[in-house]
Amino acid sequence: MIYKTTHNFFVYHFFQLYSLWRTKWNFSKTFINGTFNDRGLPVLVLSNHFSWWDGFWVVCLNYRVFGRRFHFMMLEEQLKKHMFFTKTGGFSIKKGSRSVIETLDYTAEILSDKRNLVLLFPQGEIRSMHTTDFEFETGIEHIIGRLKSNIHIIFLANILDYFSGSKPCLYMYFSEYTGNDFSTGALQAGYNRFYSQCLSLNLEMKDPE
């Protein structure tokens, strides 16, 4: 059994506004770098995962760029502590259990609707922002295989820099995967190349103050 999302209109929109407000309040500036050619398909976002903030940032990115109904996969033990997240798009996965396939099939079901966006952290755990070699778990291949690639696959890299400010600047880089190979290895290699490019771009950034 998995915990499925039960979007609540009021809770969902409050969560969206709350995410926008918290991001604006806690970060000196937010820079979004990327272009999106909307072909009217559902959106799968593959992102690095290094902090508690990551999901909130993607809510903001979705609001500003993609305009889809937000969903995200969350570890069952964490979701059970914060069940209200099911009303904001959260659904559960329990690693090492037989319900994993059910969760992957449910994710594909969500992504069969062009109005939806799903956020996944394909490395499956929080890792340092300075990680440069991401290892993807195999479930992503199962999800995309069910959809026959009829989705936007978006690589996302979130990077922080303080420069001279007391609050960090948030840099959000995104790019659509355009390859024809949807195996775990190909997606992993593509994301690692993308992330390295984002780090190089960020090294060129100057203090925005």
Mean pLDDT in residue range 185-203: 94
Residues linked to residue 152 through DSSP beta bridges, in sequence order? 43
Ramachandran angles phi, psi of 88, nearest 5°? -110, 5
Summary mean pLDDT of the chain: 92
Please write the tens of the pLDDT for every residue from 136-150: 988 899 999 888 779
Mean pLDDT in residue range 168-179: 95
CA distance 23 to 57: 7
pLDDT beyond 70 at 91: yes
How much is the pTM? 0.94
User: What pLDDT is stored for residue 209 in this prediction?
Assistant: 67
Mean pLDDT in residue range 114-125: 92
